[in-house]
Structure 1
Amino acid sequence: MAPQKRRTGYLFQNYALFPNMTVAQNMAAGLAGERTDKNKEKEQIRRFLRLFQLESLEKLYPLQLSGGQQQRAALARMLISRPEILLFDEPFAALDSYLKEGLRMELLKILKDFNGISILVTHDRDEAFQLCDQILVLDRGNVIDYGDTKEVFCHPKTEMSARVTGCKNISRIKRINSHTFCALDWDEIILHTDELIEDNITFAGVRAHSFRQCSAQDARRLQKRGEANLIPVSDAAVSEMPFEWYVTLKNHLWWKIEKKVSGSMEKKEMPPWLYLPPQEILLLRDN
């Protein structure tokens, strides 16, 4: 089948605009093979130039455009052919973070109005979460997780899908009973979970923002009630970020806290304990 008849739009990582054609000519190339008269073709090109805010750039060549302008031109060329399926190969990989945010929002608007199927290949978890309704996680060609995007992010099933979705703390575990395990890579601390630990669970994960600060008094109260999941804060390494503190604990756990919650992380102001709510623990199987 000729490419023009496949009804498939493909946005390349480098946009693949024809360098010897202007923006308008690139868009006309997207209509190649369409049986439309010249007036209708020009009208359609003008409509897409307006839609993608390219009217003032229609006579420019790709090398005269910024990265964002090139992407908008490539999107317009792709959509003007009325595809039934859209394929995106890391469309924002070459852009700086500021430009990336704006173009993500533009693409999100386009996808909401598109009635066909869209497939996005990306290594950026924020991009996947923002743009995709469903997500499929691949590891060396094997599917290791699949489902609703929010569900996969909140409840990943495997060790690798937890890492891909941003979980910073992952440990091998030794099951003690149906709700208790020993975390082998976190100084063998004993942790309890609300969720049943099934036989195929071999890892546990904890997101860096899941810990709660705990005073010595609160820790004693929890211990008296028979509740554990207390982690001592000692010999912690603190790294300051613009809006957060990153704290690495002695037992290799990583804790992230917003500055508006804790203004300072000097040693004297560190909590003596961290509490890990049982419902915050991710139970994971091997890949």
Structure 2
Amino acid sequence: MAAAAEAGHHDIAVNLPVVLYDYLTWRGYYDDLISVTTTGCRIARQSGALAAEAGAWNNLGIVLSEASRYEEAFHAFDRALDLFTSLGNDNERGKVLNGLGLALLESGRHAEALRAHQEAVAIQRVTGNLREQAAALNNLSLAHQDLEDHAEACAAAEEAASLFQRLGDIADEASALCTTAFALQALGKIEESRVACGRALTASRAAGNPLVEAATLMTCTQLEDLTLQQQIEYLLQAEAACERANAAELQATALSGIGVALTAAGERDQAVAYFGRAQRLFEELGLTEQAAEVGEGIAVLQS
């Protein structure tokens, strides 16, 4: 990056962190991603590329949030907001507020997260960006749920799901329907919650992406009032979808979940078998802490 900047190729230097984002996130190299994105912010500022600098600060805020470095993330998001405001770019400002809201939510600052998402939704209603509006509405529902405003949470999630359906974005529709299911559950509308979960599963399968299907199934297992058999069936389907998607870490998590459910059902031998598969996968991935935790569960069952 520095070499590109010195050679006058500022656009390459600024865009490199964006190109590397997916790879470095997938590998979990957050320190490297934070480093190159920080450099991107500096180079964009030095070259006077305000829009690129604003985007880089927003990306930095997202990465810092992923790394749970929330105070630094808030600073990055604030810088991005200032720059996009000075540029008069409301659409991008709305996106930043949505990311800021998630960081606030994850750090436990629920009331501030609610305000950020409300402002993001209001901005995107004006700009007419339906995709960003739907994303902000889904996150707004999560903030309402954390504050136990369940009726508001349900309304926001249902609107998000409707918008994603209108856009033909089946994967995100499935996610919003899962959010709807939890909001309905909190309202005591158990049957409606199950229907929303079923709709989410139908949408996730229609998306044709086994990873989306697996994530939806894993989410649905967390609903209350599922029988153990229903929970086990969802987890088995999730594990199979993970294998098709080559999502080894999520597959190991599903296998461990099956072990827990089978233990609760009194099927100790089967539970040990699934725990053993989970442990081996975690070990292959180098996730020693998770492997050790599963190993402890096996030891208890075999004692």
Q: Same fold (TM over 0.5)?
A: no
- Name which one, 1 or 2, has greater alpha-carbon Rg: 1
TM-score (norm 1): 0.29
> Higher strand proportion, which one?
1
TM-score (norm 2): 0.28
> Higher helix proportion, which one?
2
